[in-house]
Structure 1
């Protein structure tokens, strides 16, 4: 069994198109999507249209949930919200928060119990982002009867082998390789490459393996779009992979 996992597209349709083309070139037919599909200043509706057309097994991310909540509440002035139509909100609302894929792989957005949690990584008191302790990761995986568990949310690609042999994989972000956050303290995530990122999962010889794959694409237009929408951190990350660099 072999399939690809994508996550955190965040409305970056060119990055998504490049990843899907790369997956097709490798002859992989199955793809799962771990959420946060469209949020941000980029191409929310065009990205949603492509994902709806492809119909991948998908879970709802925290930003998808927030957009649906705003829709139920009657609207929002957010730029991504104003791009979307009823069909897009209904599509996100229909997604589960977790999913067992083909009875073998457990899918969630951030952690099995919380769609907005850092799980494989943590934010320290000084704002650094570091790998979580194995005890913390294993506690989050307790009770999950699957040999492979997939999560996203942090945008940081990570492969963790639990002590009981299960594999936990974060495929990184298709569309946004860096960003800043404020909770629990101000912090910055930056992965150091502007390339779109995804994972290939394969079961062979009785065990699971994971490959993180980076795909170059024409990212300049998306960086310029983020900059034009007043999102300089996004613009920098999409252009360079570093979230704190000023891009001119």
Structure 2
């Protein structure tokens, strides 16, 4: 069993195209998608159309949920919302929050019971982003009867082996290698490369083999698009993999 896992595309259509081309070039035919497909200042509708066409097994991310809630509420001035049509919202609303893939792999967006939680990483009181201790990770995985658990949300590629042998993998972000957040305190996530990231998972006799792939693509147009729409942190991250701090 061999497949690819993508997450957090966030409307970055060229990054998604590059990743899908890389997956196809490796002869991999199966892909799962861990959510946050289209939200942000980039190409929401174009990205949704491509993902609808591919029809990957997919779960709903927290930003997907927010878009659905806005749609159900009637309207929004958000740029991503205004790009989308009813078919796109219907597609997002059709996704479950979690999914069992091929009876062997548990899929979620952020954590199994919370679509907006930092799980494999956490934010300190000082705003630093650090790897979570195993004691904080394992309780969230209780009751999951799968040897491989996939999650996204933080955009940070990560592999964690639980003490019972199960593996938890975050494949990183296809479309957004950094961002700034405000809750619970101001913080910045940055992975240090503008490449589009995804993971390859292969079941072997010794267990699950995980390969992270960082794929270059023409990122300049998406960085400029983010900048033109007032999202400087997105523009910085897409261009460089780093987020420029605000000067004090």
What TM-score do you get using the length of structure 1 for normalisation? 0.98
Q: Distance in 1 between matches of 2:128 and 2:108?
A: 24
What is aligned with 1:117? 117
What is the CA deviation profile of residues 157-199 of structure 1, one whole-angstrom value per residue up to 9, with x for unaligned ones?
A: 0000111100000000000000000000000000000000000
Partners of 1:14 and 1:194 in 2: CA distance? 12
Match for residue 33 of structure 2?
Answer: 33
Q: CA deviation at 1:244?
A: 1.6
User: For 2:245 and 2:31, how far apart are their aligned partners in 1?
Assistant: 33
Residues in 2 aligned to 1:218 and 1:71: alpha-carbon distance in whole angstroms: 32
2:241: which partner in 1?
241
Q: Does 1:183 align with 2:183?
A: yes
Find the aligned partners of 2:237 and 2:55 in 1 and give their Cα distance: 28
Gaps in structure 1 of 5+ consecutive residues: none
1: CA distance, partners of 2:100 / 2:90: 21
Partner of 1:21 in structure 2?
21
**What is the rounded CA distance, in whole Å, between the counterparts of 2:46 and 2:72 in structure 1?**
22
Counterpart in the other structure of 2:56: 56
Local SS of the residue matching 1:185? coil
Structural RMSD (CA): 0.8
Q: Matches of 1:227 and 1:174 in 2, distance apart? A: 19
CA deviation digits over 1:143-163, x for unaligned, max 9?
100000000000000000111
Give 1:206 shift.
4.4
Unpaired segments ≥5 residues, structure 2? none
Question: In the TM superposition, what are the counterparts of 1:130-169 in structure 2 within 5 Å?
Answer: 130-169=130-169
In the alignment, the residues of structure 2 paired with residue 50 and residue 61 of structure 1 have an alpha-carbon distance, to the nearest angstrom, of: 17
The ranges of structure 1 where at least 4 consecutive aligned residues each deviate by more than 6 angstroms after the TM superposition are none
Q: TM-score with structure 2 length normalisation?
A: 0.98
In 2, the alpha carbon distance for the partners of 1:37 and 1:147 equals 26
Q: Secondary structure at the match of 1:114?
A: coil
Provide the rounded CA distance (Å) in 2 between the counterparts of 1:186 and 1:76: 25
Q: Does 1:79 align with 2:79?
A: yes
Q: Work out the CA distance in 2 between the residues paired with 1:195 and 1:9.
A: 12
User: What is the CA–CA distance in structure 1 between the aligned matches of 2:75 and 2:236, rounded to whole Å?
Assistant: 29
Tell me if the contact between 1:236 and 1:245 (Cα under 8 Å) persists in the aligned partners.
Answer: no
